[in-house]
């Protein structure tokens, strides 16, 4: 078990417990409320799906294109929450004989991620009922978790903070002001955001705590591991974007030329890179915290690795 050398910001852990208790929601009672998905509505706002970059799609195919991405969104969150929950459980254990508020905050965090995984499995099942057969979510949550969790805690916490911040950014920046998005899907984003806000605070506290225990050399290795993790996420996005492109083209109403099909595939990947990488590393607190923990040369290394993924 890891010793806790420096005093913890106890009040901040305690505050997340208080808020976590206050906002706590139930999958059926608060989110789903006996509803199903209306396939006449969008699942994701256009700012996330990037559907405007495909002007040749008619109205029905525009909607279907975003719905495929909305289905993958639920599966992607179910996937990342597998490794996040496992890591946070381990972090909570490091506080077991120390500050009890820190331990409780991380136990609640773990419990919430288990609930979120259950929510996203329900969403996938509800969406699957109305959509044409043939959709496949390619990555396996446990395979990805094993790929992620062998990296240092510093790198895993960096990736986790980035994820929990972009989930909030998706809700705040776009979901709440798009009137055409399905009310059930909006509620999924809304309720998820309510609990993710505490998670991001805890990720940052734990990341800074972990950072204090690292030598200069281990931090430098951890920066490379963070870059490797993002590259791994990108590989997964490439595979899923290709699968979703095949599924979309196979079930769309329109016929597409080879050039249009290629454009659909490229836009799908661009949208996924924006949703799962760009909207976290550019539009949130993430670059600020990273900048406080690493040297300018290390920050440049991260930037250089991300640049090709974020090119327009
Ligand atoms: Fe979550
Ligand atoms: Fe979370």
- pLDDT tens-place string over residues 77-96: 999 999 999 999 999 999 99
Please give the pLDDT value at position 6. 57
**Nearest-angstrom CA–CA distance, 75 and 210:** 29
Gap from CA of 138 to ligand 2 centroid (Å): 22
For residue range 167-203, what is the model confidence (pLDDT) as tens digits?
Answer: 888 887 666 677 889 999 999 989 999 999 999 999 9
Gap from CA of 100 to ligand 1 centroid (Å): 23
Gap from CA of 167 to ligand 1 centroid (Å): 8
**Nearest-angstrom CA–CA distance, 47 and 75:** 19
Please give the pLDDT value at position 311. 80
Gap from CA of 251 to ligand 2 centroid (Å): 33
**Nearest-angstrom CA–CA distance, 270 and 176:** 22
In percent, the amount of the chain with pLDDT more than 90 equals 86
Structure tokens at 206: 């734990």
**Nearest-angstrom CA–CA distance, 87 and 161:** 12
- Contact between 36 and 128 under an 8 Å Cβ cutoff? The reply is no
Gap from CA of 113 to ligand 2 centroid (Å): 6
Gap from CA of 6 to ligand 1 centroid (Å): 29
Structure tokens at 226: 């963070």
Question: What pTM was computed for the model?
Answer: 0.94
For the chain, which residues score pLDDT lower than 50?
Answer: 1-3
Gap from CA of 16 to ligand 2 centroid (Å): 13
């Amino acid at each position: 078990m890891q010793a806790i050398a420096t005093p913890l910001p106890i009040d901040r852990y305690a505050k997340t417990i208080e808020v976590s208790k206050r906002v706590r929601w139930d999958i059926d009672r608060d989110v789903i409320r006996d509803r199903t998905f209306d396939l006449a509505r969008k699942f994701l706002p256009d700012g996330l799906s990037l559907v405007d970059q495909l002007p040749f799609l008619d109205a029905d195919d525009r909607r279907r294109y975003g719905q495929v991405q909305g289905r993958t969104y639920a599966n992607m969150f179910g996937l990342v929450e597998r490794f996040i929950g496992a890591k946070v459980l381990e972090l909570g254990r490091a506080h077991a004989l120390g500050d009890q508020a820190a331990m409780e905050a991380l136990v609640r965090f773990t419990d919430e991620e288990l609930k979120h995984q259950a929510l996203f499995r329900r969403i996938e099942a509800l969406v699957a009922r109305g959509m044409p057969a043939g959709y496949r979510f390619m990555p396996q949550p446990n395979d990805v978790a094993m790929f992620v969790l062998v990296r240092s805690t510093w790198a895993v916490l960096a990736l986790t903070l980035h994820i929990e911040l972009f989930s909030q950014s998706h809700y705040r920046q776009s979901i709440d002001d798009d009137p055409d998005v399905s009310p059930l899907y909006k509620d999924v984003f809304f309720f998820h955001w309510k609990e993710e806000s505490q998670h991001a605070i805890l990720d940052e506290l734990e990341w800074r705590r972990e950072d204090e225990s690292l030598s200069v050399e281990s931090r430098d290795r951890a920066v490379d591991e963070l870059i490797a993790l993002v590259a791994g996420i990108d590989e997964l996005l490439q595979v899923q974007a290709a699968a979703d492109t095949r599924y979309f083209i196979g079930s769309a109403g329109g016929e597409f030329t080879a050039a249009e099909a290629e454009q659909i595939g490229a836009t799908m990947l661009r949208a996924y890179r924006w949703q799962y990488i760009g909207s976290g590393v550019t539009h949130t607190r993430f670059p600020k915290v990273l900048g406080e923990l690493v040297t300018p040369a290390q920050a440049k290394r991260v930037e250089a690795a991300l640049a090709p993924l974020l090119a327009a």
